Amino acid sequence: MADIIELLPDSIANQIAAGEVIQRPSSAVKELLENAVDADATEIKLIIADAGKSLVSVIDNGKGMSETDARMAFERHATSKIKKIDDLFSIKTMGFRGEALASIAAVAQVELKTKKHDDELGTFIEVENSQVVKQEPCAAANGTTISMKNLFFNVPARRNFLKSNAAEMKHIVDEFIRVAMAFPEIFFSLTSNGQQVFYLEAGNIKQRVIQILGNNYNTKLVTVKEQTDYMNIYGFVGKPEAAKKTRGDQYFFVNNRFIKSAYLNHAVNTAFENMIAKDSFPSYVLFIDLDPSQIDINVHPTKQEIKFEDEKIIYAFVQAAVKHALAQFSIAPSLDFTLNADIQQLDAVAKPFTTEKREAASSSNLYKTFTGKYQAHKIEPNEKSELSHWKDFFTKKENKAEQTIEQKPISPEIPTLHSLSKFNNTYIQLHNTYIIVANTTGFMLVHQQHAHERVLYEKFTEQSHSTHPATQKSLFPITLELAISDAVLLEELLPEIMALGYQIENFGNNTFIIQGTPADVIQGNEKHSIELLLEQFKHFSSDIKFSKREKLVRCMSRQHAIKAGNPLLQKEMQTLIENLFQCTTPNVTPSGNPTYLEFKEDYLDRMFGKI
């Protein structure tokens, strides 16, 4: 047998390696923006065409590159950012692996124009398939312009893998925001297909946050700021009233790098405990600065996860800082103020670079105060105990009651309308949430919100498959002005939303006009409805098992369902229950919760010792 192992040609090896760094246009956006930041630019312009599929171009006024460096920059592992292994532990720049430009050059056509401030002439280089195809001196402005054209032109399989323009553009906007948010002292702009999407004048963090998240945050931000020798935290949390129904505006930056951390997110959430509804999410933009040696740098640079040397302390500090901020702005008036004394203890916690210091930190009052259960800052929930216990009785899966109550959400014998209408029924509403209704074999306890969600779900599903969705025209067209990333999302969802009966027109400039709503939706509050729909959709969007349409239908039925706590008239209860039992699957909500419980006569008899 002949030998069978061969070395991959360079071009293929490069393309494979590139796949790790450049997955989609937005990956290049991130890398190129970070390079511009590292080059000390004070102005960075991002230009996009065709959602980055045909062009991603970054223009900076940073320090530029020499002729040799310009050529070197495209070699794999070519970096000016580390020289020796020790540098890894004190890294302060965004990049250091020297992989980004090499990766981009392996999967796209790249043009680079660059000039150092002291040089007369700049350098122009064209690279394709990792090969330099042109290099010449040229006249150029100070700084660097890199254009990446026709991403994956040489890897059609990956090109086909890219999503719709709207989806890719959303990724780009996300990356742009993450970099722009972290460097408010730099001017950033984003232009897409010739249209200016962002124009962010240099300013302070608060200005930048408002530029990006929208003016309505102006009065809703609370400053967070705690400094210790170990770490600094600063930034903003939204006041409780700015909390959202889905995790929308949540940003953590560690040493100015955007990260995703469920752990730290939890720290913020617990600081908000009992100040916002359980099912809503606080908004925050928080920056944590700490000694780079406290972070595990061995994490892949394009991944947004991070490992801290001492997670628990960071958790406690984040939580403490947010609580402190909320308390200071007297958002939590019922607080017990032993707080200032505690915060002063921060100094005791302040220098835990040594083991003793760290121990001191974790045994300090501050640490305990904020990690213990009955800390000074905990606000007890407003107990509506009877009601909530009563609810628990029926809803908690682990509740003992479960074993005795015959609960068959997926029961094959579903009561029919007939079995209900045999009685001239009166409906009893309990706690404005449950409806008790007799049927031929006993009685049913219907959860009004769950039931209505099921009814709407089937209606909307049917609507979405009809060619002429039922629409009610709005009396007055409603103008909807969205944050840019939401506008991109709405644009993407527009065909599906219209299929459900909404009439919405894109007016340009992130503005939409609502002209009509689905027939089954109560009018009024359309603006809020659409905003909420987008929020919920984002929440759902990682769930790939559902189509866009299915997600929307689910969001809409949840959103428009009669809520628990809402008093209902006899007639309304009757219609709801009739509609419920006309559904194909009346017994569960789309997400699988029971819509009613059934109590059969023989079971009741047994309970009363009659059998």
Binding site for ligand ADP (CB under 6 A): 31, 35-36, 39, 60, 62-65, 73, 78-81, 95-102, 144
Residue pair 564/447 in contact (Cβ under 8 Å)? The answer is yes
Q: Whose structure tokens read 């017994």?
A: 587
Residues 594, 355: Cα–Cα separation, whole Å = 53
Shortest Å, Cβ 63 to ligand ADP = 6
State which residue, 282 or 301, has the beta carbon closest to ligand ADP: 301
Which one of ligand ADP, Mg ion, none interacts with residue 62, CB within 5 to 8 A by kind?
ligand ADP
Residues 558, 552: Cα–Cα separation, whole Å = 10
State which residue, 100 or 490, has the beta carbon closest to ligand ADP: 100
State which residue, 1 or 85, has the beta carbon closest to ligand ADP: 85
State which residue, 31 or 535, has the beta carbon closest to Mg ion: 31
State which residue, 65 or 487, has the beta carbon closest to ligand ADP: 65
Q: How far is CA 58 from the centre of its chain?
A: 26
Which one of ligand ADP, Mg ion, none interacts with residue 96, CB within 5 to 8 A by kind?
ligand ADP
State which residue, 97 or 391, has the beta carbon closest to ligand ADP: 97
State which residue, 78 or 166, has the beta carbon closest to ligand ADP: 78
Shortest Å, Cβ 257 to ligand ADP = 13
Burial of 360 (0-12, 13-18, 19+ CB in 10 A): middle
Which one of ligand ADP, Mg ion, none interacts with residue 220, CB within 5 to 8 A by kind?
none
Which one of ligand ADP, Mg ion, none interacts with residue 531, CB within 5 to 8 A by kind?
none
Residues 586, 409: Cα–Cα separation, whole Å = 9
State which residue, 105 or 343, has the beta carbon closest to ligand ADP: 105
**CB closest to ligand ADP, residue no:** 95
Shortest Å, Cβ 31 to Mg ion = 5
Q: Under the rule (CB under 5 A), what is the footprint of Mg ion?
A: 35, 95, 100
Which one of ligand ADP, Mg ion, none interacts with residue 453, CB within 5 to 8 A by kind?
none
- Residue 25: closest CA among 59, 61, 49: 49
Residues 89, 394: Cα–Cα separation, whole Å = 55
Shortest Å, Cβ 91 to ligand ADP = 10
Shortest Å, Cβ 252 to Mg ion = 21
Polymer length in residues for the chain = 611
Shortest Å, Cβ 176 to ligand ADP = 16
Residues 315, 317: Cα–Cα separation, whole Å = 5
Phi, psi values for residue 298, rounded to 5°:
-75, 5
Shortest Å, Cβ 462 to ligand ADP = 52
State which residue, 97 or 351, has the beta carbon closest to Mg ion: 97
- Residue 267: closest CA among 216, 233, 223, 304: 233
Which one of ligand ADP, Mg ion, none interacts with residue 65, CB within 5 to 8 A by kind?
ligand ADP
Residues 358, 229: Cα–Cα separation, whole Å = 12
Residue pair 202/54 in contact (Cβ under 8 Å)? The answer is no
Residue 585 CA neighbour count, 13 Å, CB half: 15
Shortest Å, Cβ 103 to ligand ADP = 8
Residues 327, 338: Cα–Cα separation, whole Å = 11
- Residue 130: closest CA among 106, 111, 148: 106
Residues 88, 265: Cα–Cα separation, whole Å = 27
Which one of ligand ADP, Mg ion, none interacts with residue 224, CB within 5 to 8 A by kind?
none
Which one of ligand ADP, Mg ion, none interacts with residue 39, CB within 5 to 8 A by kind?
ligand ADP
CA angle 446, 452, 453 (to 5 degrees): 115
Shortest Å, Cβ 267 to Mg ion = 30
**CB closest to Mg ion, residue no:** 95
Q: What is the dihedral of CA 492, 494, 500, 502, to 10 degrees?
A: 150
